[in-house]
Amino acid sequence: MRISELAERTGVSPHALRHYERLGLLRPARTPGGYRDYPETMRREVIFISMSRQIGFSLKSIAERLPAYRAGRLSFDDMVLAMQSRVAEIDAALAALQAQRVQVIDHIRWIKEQKKKHQAAKRQARTRAAAKPWPTIKKGSS
């Protein structure tokens, strides 16, 4: 099948399919005219790659598992273990983001305190300036 048909049947864009080919994940045959010719079995591989990408696996990680998937050696247990590892990565990322969120909120609080101090200092300066008497004119100087 041609790239447009594979794209339509898998929901993966032709651009992404070409990218996967450049990375060595897909190796379509070529017609005498130079067009890519994807066998039906490659549809399964593209869906495997697409689903793996959707849950956050890197293309490098997918490339490591793809040969076992193609050969039928990637067991359900292997896939579950990989996905559990991915969940742990997501949990770590969420924890890091939560810690960063706390820091941002602390920074907001600090900035608001600085603003209040700055505004109070401006008010004091205006009050001091208003409380000063007019300068006196010395006699004999004009």
Q: Could you report the per-residue pLDDT of 59-102, keeping only the tens digit for each?
A: 999 999 999 999 999 999 999 999 999 999 999 999 999 999 99
27 close to 61: Cβ distance less than 8 angstroms: no
With a cut of 80, say whether residue 49 has pLDDT above it: yes
Instruction: Report d(CA 56, CA 129) in Å as an integer.
Output: 62
Enter the DSSP assignment of 21: H
Three-class SS of residue 24?
Answer: coil
Identify the CATH class of 1-74. Answer: mainly alpha
Contacts of 99-103 with CB under 8 Å at 24 or more apart are none
Q: Could you report the per-residue pLDDT of 126-141, keeping only the tens digit for each?
A: 887 777 677 777 776 5
